[in-house]
Amino acid sequence: MLSRTAENLYWLARYVERAEYLARTIDATLRVTALPAAYIGKTNEWDSALLTAGVAGSFYQQYEEANEHNVVDYLSFSAANPSSIKNCIEAARLNSRSVRTALTSEMWDTINSAWIELQAVWSKGTSTREDLAKFLRFVQETSLRFDGSAYRTMLRNDAYWFSRMGVHLERADNTARILDVKYHVLLPEKEHVGGPLDFYQWSSILRSVSALTAYHWVYRETLKPWLIADLLILNDTLPRSLASCYGNLVRNLDQIGVAYGRQGPAQRHARGIRNRLEHSNMNDIFQHGVHEFIQEFITDNSRLGEIITKQYLI
Amino acid sequence: MAVAFDEMNIPGGDLRPAYQELARWLKETPPEALEYRRQEAELLFRRIGITFAVYGEAESTERLIPFDVIPRIMSGKEWALLEKGLKQRVRALNMFLRDIYHGRDILRAEIVPDDLIFQNPVFRPEMNGQQVPHDVYVHIAGIDIVRTDAEDFIVLEDNARTPSGVSYMLENREIMMRLFPDLFARHRVAPVERYPDELLAALRSVAPQSASGEPTVALLTPGVYNSAYYEHSFLADKLGIELVEGRDLIVKNNEVFMRTTEGLKRVDVIYRRVDDDFLDPLTFRPDSVLGVPGLMSAYAAGNITLANAVGTGIADDKAIYSYMPDIVKFYLGEEPILKNVPTWRCREPKDLAYVLDNLGELVVKEVHGSGGYGMLIGPAATKATIEAFREKLKREPEGFIAQPTLALSTCPTCTASGLAPRHVDLRPFVLTGSKRTTIVPGGLTRVALKEGSLVVNSSQGGGTKDTWILDE
C-alpha cells in the first residue's frame, strides 16, 4: 500500500484514540473535583489533567489559571491546542478523506457523521454541565464505534495492522502519561501511608483508563495503589495496560513482517519493550522507581513511533 | 427567446412517450411523499460525503450539489442517435490531436488557422512528435450536450482535459434506486454501473509497451482540497487502484514509481486529474507542488501513459470549437451527426462587429474559461454588466467567442412551488481504449434550479438529476 495511506491510517487511529482519552480524562477530573476539598487534598486536578494530556506548557502561554473552565475549553475546543478533542476530530476527518479508499464505509460514516454532528458543538459550545457530559460521552462513543467498525469490517491486511498499531501506540502513551503524573500516589505496599484522601485519586486514575470495574474483577480487593500500578503496567488482560498494548504491537508488527516477507528495526524494538514488560514485576519496578520506569517507557514508546515512521510511512 | 422545448410535455397537453409512466406515477404519489424522499436523498448525499468545493468562497468549503429526484428520461432511439454522434465526435477529436502534434495536415489544408494553434497557451510544444500509445489522446471525454427540439442534439462544449462529474452519474443512480424502487420497477432503465469496469479496461489497454502483463494503474489527484476530490477517491475505490498525490510518486531512470510500505512500485498508467500546468515542475509551472518532477521525461521515454494525454486542451478550446464540424468532415469524411451551436469568433472583425451590436441577445464566453466562470449571458445581464463586458471584448477580442442564447430544453423539476420546468443539459462520458470506444447509456444531467436560469454549472447554483435511457 501507499506509504501515505499507511501513515494516514495510523494517525487516524491515533487521533480517535487520543480524543477518547481526553474525553475520559476530563470526565474523571470533573468527578474528582466535584468532591469536597477534604476528600482530594490540595492538588489542582485540572493541572494534572493538563499534564496527562501533555499540553501544560502551551496552556500557560494562553491562560493564567488552570481551572475547570479554562482547561475544559483548552482540552476540548481550543483551535490553538493541536491535541484538543476538536483538532483530533478535525484531523481524523481530514485523514479519513485522504484515505477514503482504504476505509470501509462504516468507518468513514462514523467519522464523517461525528464530524457533522460536532459542528454544532463547535459553534455553540457547551453551556451547561449536562451539555458537556453529553459531548464527552459522544466522543467516547464515536471512538468505540470507530474501533468496532474497524474490527468488524476491515480486511485483515496491512491497512488494518497499521491502523491497530496507531491505536496501541497512542493508548500505551496515554496510560503511561497518567501513571507519570500520578506516580506519587502509587506507592509500594510497605511505604503506603495514604488516608482516605488518596482513594479518590486512585479511582480517578482507573476511571480515566476505563478500568475501575476491571480492577475489582482482577484483584477482588479494595483499591490498593500497588495493585493499580500492577494492573496498568503489567497485567496483559487489561486492554489499556502497557503490557497488553505491547503484546498487540508486537503481534501487528509481526503480521506486517510476514506479509511483506521481512522484519526490521520496528519489530526488534517493539519486541525489546515487550520482553522487558514481560520479565518485570512490581517489586523490581518500585525498587527501580516507578517514575524512572515510566519515563523510560514513554521515551521508548515514542522511539518506536519514529522507527515505524521511518521503516514504513515515509 | 422562444419557448423552450420541454422533454416531457408537448404543447397542447400530450406527453412525450418516454415520460408517460413517470407522469402516471407522479399523479399517484402525494407531494409529501416526494418531499420526504427528497430530504432523504439529501441526507444520504451528506453522509456519504459527496461534496464539492467552490473556489473563491472562504467559508463552507464543502457543499452539496443539489440533487433533483425527478429523473430525466430519454428513449432508446434518441440515445442510439446520440451515441453514434458522440463516438464520431470523439474519434475526430483524437485524430485532430494526433495530427496537430505530428503531420499537421489540417493546418496545411487551411481548415484551422495556424495562429489559433501555435499562439494558444494550451498548445503543448513538448508533445510535438511524441508518440502516445495507440494514438489515443482523449481517453475520457465529457461532451456537453443540449437540446432545443425533439430532433437534434447540439454540442455545447467538448471537455477533453479532465472532465468531472461521472461520480454524480453513478451516485445519483444508486440513490435513486434506493429511494424509488417502485418507480424503477415500472421502467426498463439501462444500467450505468459498469462504468468503472469500462474505464479500468480502457486505461489498462493503453499501457506502455514496457509495462508488465498486469499494468499498474493509479489515479493522480491534486489532493483533498481540490473541488473534485470526492470524485477522485470514489473512482479510485471503484476501480480498485491507488489514489496517489504527486508526493507519492517518484521518477527514477525515466520510470515512474509510487512509494509504498514495501518500497517503490512501478506505475504504468496514470489517470491524472491534475492539469497539464501542474504535472511536472521541471517542464511546466516550477512552483507546482502537485506534480511529479521528471514525469514528462518518463512520458517522453514511453514508460508511462497519461490519461488524458498532455496537450489535449487544444482540442476542447472554445476557439477551436467553432471549427469542429469541419474537423469531423476533414478526418472522417462524414457529415457531423451532432450539431454545433452557431459561433461568432470575436477574433474576426466582421463577427466582432456583429457581437458588439447584439450583446444583449448573445452569450459571450472566454475562450479559455470553464465552469461557467467569466461569461456574459446577454438577456439576463444588467446594462452595466453588458457595458463592462463590451470594454473587455474590445480590449481583447481574440479572447472571446459569442453564441446565440439557446432555449435549452426543460424537464420537470421539484421546486418550492411544486413541479416546474427547468433547463437542463447532459454530459455523457465517452471512453476510448486501444480497441474500442464505449459510452454507458446516459450521463450526468445538470439542471439550472433557478427559474428561467440557463446556467447549469454546479459552481453557479446548478443541480443534477439521474438520467434514464429506456431500454425498449
Per CB-CB distance under 8 Å, the chain B contacts of A5 are: 242
Which among B237, B248, B262 has the least Cβ separation from residue A4? B248
pLDDT band, residue B131 (cuts 50/70/90): very high
- Count the Cβ atoms, other than its own, within 10 Å of residue B110: 8
Rounded to the nearest 10 degrees, the angle between the axes of helix A158-182 and helix A225-233 is 160
| Of the candidate ranges A31-40, A177-186, B342-351, B400-409, the one whose mean pLDDT is the lowest | A31-40
Q: Is A5 on the interface with B (CB under 8 A)?
A: yes
Assigned C-alpha cell, B50 = 459527496
Q: Is A2 on the interface with B (CB under 8 A)?
A: yes
Q: Is B233 on the interface with A (CB under 8 A)?
A: yes
CA angle B374, B375, B378 (to 5 degrees): 145
* Nearest chain A residue to B258, by CA: A2
Residue of A56, A125, A129, A59 whose CA lies nearest to A86: A125
CB contact under 8 A, B261 and A158: yes
Higher pLDDT, B63 or B165: B165
Which among A1, A2, A100 has the least Cβ separation from residue B237? A100
What per-residue confidence (pLDDT) applies to B191?
95
Q: Is A192 on the interface with B (CB under 8 A)?
A: no
What per-residue confidence (pLDDT) applies to B57?
47
Backbone angles phi, psi at B100, to 5 degrees: -60, -40
Q: How far is A55 from chain B (nearest CA, A)?
A: 29
CA atoms of B324 and B89, how far apart (whole Å):
8
Q: Which residues pair with residue B260 across a beta bridge?
A: A2, B263
Q: Which long-range contacts (CB under 8 A, 24 or more apart) does B247-252 make?
A: B247/A4, B247/B289, B248/A2, B248/A3, B248/A4, B249/B218, B249/B220, B249/B292, B249/B295, B250/B292, B251/B292, B251/B293, B251/B294, B251/B295, B251/B297, B251/B298
Q: Is B231 on the interface with A (CB under 8 A)?
A: no
Are B364 and B401 contacting, i.e. CB atoms less than 8 angstroms apart? yes
Are B319 and B67 contacting, i.e. CB atoms less than 8 angstroms apart? no
What per-residue confidence (pLDDT) applies to B241?
94
| Of the candidate ranges A223-232, B78-87, B129-138, B454-463, the one whose mean pLDDT is the lowest | B454-463
Per CB-CB distance under 8 Å, the chain B contacts of A160 are: none
Q: Pairing mode, if any, of strands B255-260 and B249-252? A: antiparallel
What per-residue confidence (pLDDT) applies to A34?
83
For chain A, report the end-to-end CA distance as a whole number of angstroms.
Answer: 12
Residue of A276, A296, A286, A293 whose CA lies nearest to A225: A286
CA atoms of A136 and A26, how far apart (whole Å):
8
Q: How far is B57 from chain A (nearest CA, A)?
A: 19
CB contact under 8 A, A101 and B261: no
* Nearest chain B residue to A111, by CA: B47
* Nearest chain B residue to A263, by CA: B262
Q: Is A313 on the interface with B (CB under 8 A)?
A: yes
CA angle A234, A237, A239 (to 5 degrees): 90
Q: How far is B50 from chain A (nearest CA, A)?
A: 11
Interface size between A and B, measured as CB pairs under 8 A: 52
Which among B46, B233, B248 has the least Cβ separation from residue A116? B46
| Of the candidate ranges A100-109, A116-125, B210-219, B367-376, the one whose mean pLDDT is the lowest | B367-376
Q: Is A6 on the interface with B (CB under 8 A)?
A: yes
Rounded to the nearest 10 degrees, the angle between the axes of helix B166-179 and helix B229-239 is 80
pLDDT band, residue B7 (cuts 50/70/90): very high
CB contact under 8 A, A2 and B49: no
Are A13 and A111 contacting, i.e. CB atoms less than 8 angstroms apart? no
Q: Is B244 on the interface with A (CB under 8 A)?
A: yes
Q: Which residues of chain A have pLDDT under 50?
A: none
Higher pLDDT, A10 or B416: A10
B23, pLDDT greater than 70: yes
Residues 218-257 of A with CB under 8 A from B: 256
Assigned C-alpha cell, A171 = 493508548
CB contact under 8 A, A162 and B245: no
Per CB-CB distance under 8 Å, the chain B contacts of A116 are: 46-47
Q: Is B42 on the interface with A (CB under 8 A)?
A: no
CA atoms of B175 and A269, how far apart (whole Å):
49
CB contact under 8 A, A5 and B242: yes
Rounded to the nearest 10 degrees, the angle between the axes of helix B76-100 and helix B324-332 is 80
CA atoms of B463 and B337, how far apart (whole Å):
28
What per-residue confidence (pLDDT) applies to B59?
43
CB contact under 8 A, B236 and A101: yes
Q: Is B260 on the interface with A (CB under 8 A)?
A: yes
> Chain A interface, mutation test: which of B243, B258, B261, most A Cβ atoms within 10 Å?
B261
Q: Is A101 on the interface with B (CB under 8 A)?
A: yes
CB contact under 8 A, A3 and B233: no
What per-residue confidence (pLDDT) applies to B58?
44
CB contact under 8 A, B261 and A312: yes
CB contact under 8 A, A98 and B46: no
B276, pLDDT greater than 60: yes
Q: Is A109 on the interface with B (CB under 8 A)?
A: yes
Q: How far is B200 from chain A (nearest CA, A)?
A: 16
Q: Is B43 on the interface with A (CB under 8 A)?
A: no
Assigned C-alpha cell, A202 = 486512585
- Count the Cβ atoms, other than its own, within 10 Å of residue B35: 12
Residues 47-66 of B with CB under 8 A from A: 47, 49
CB contact under 8 A, B261 and A162: yes
| Of the candidate ranges A38-47, A119-128, B277-286, B381-390, the one whose mean pLDDT is the lowest | A38-47
- Count the Cβ atoms, other than its own, within 10 Å of residue A192: 12
Are A50 and A207 contacting, i.e. CB atoms less than 8 angstroms apart? no
* Predicted TM-score of the model (pTM): 0.85
Q: What is the mean pLDDT of residues B177-182?
A: 93
Q: Name the DSSP class of B289.
A: S
Q: How far is B332 from chain A (nearest CA, A)?
A: 42
| Secondary-structure percent of chain A, ordered helix, strand, coil, rounded to 5 | 80, 0, 20
Residues 6+ apart with CB under 8 A from A251: none
| Of the candidate ranges A170-184, B50-64, B353-367, the one whose mean pLDDT is the lowest | B50-64
CB contact under 8 A, A112 and B243: no
What per-residue confidence (pLDDT) applies to A191?
64
Q: How far is B251 from chain A (nearest CA, A)?
A: 16
CB contact under 8 A, A260 and B236: no
Torsion angle defined by CA atoms of residues B202, B207, B213 and B219, in that order, rounded to the nearest 10 degrees: -70
Are A166 and A18 contacting, i.e. CB atoms less than 8 angstroms apart? no
Assigned C-alpha cell, B183 = 418507480
Cα torsion A190, A196, A200, A206: sign: positive
Per CB-CB distance under 8 Å, the chain A contacts of B64 are: none
- Count the Cβ atoms, other than its own, within 10 Å of residue A50: 26
Backbone angles phi, psi at A304, to 5 degrees: -60, -40
Residues 409-468 of B with CB under 8 A from A: none
CB contact under 8 A, B259 and A100: no
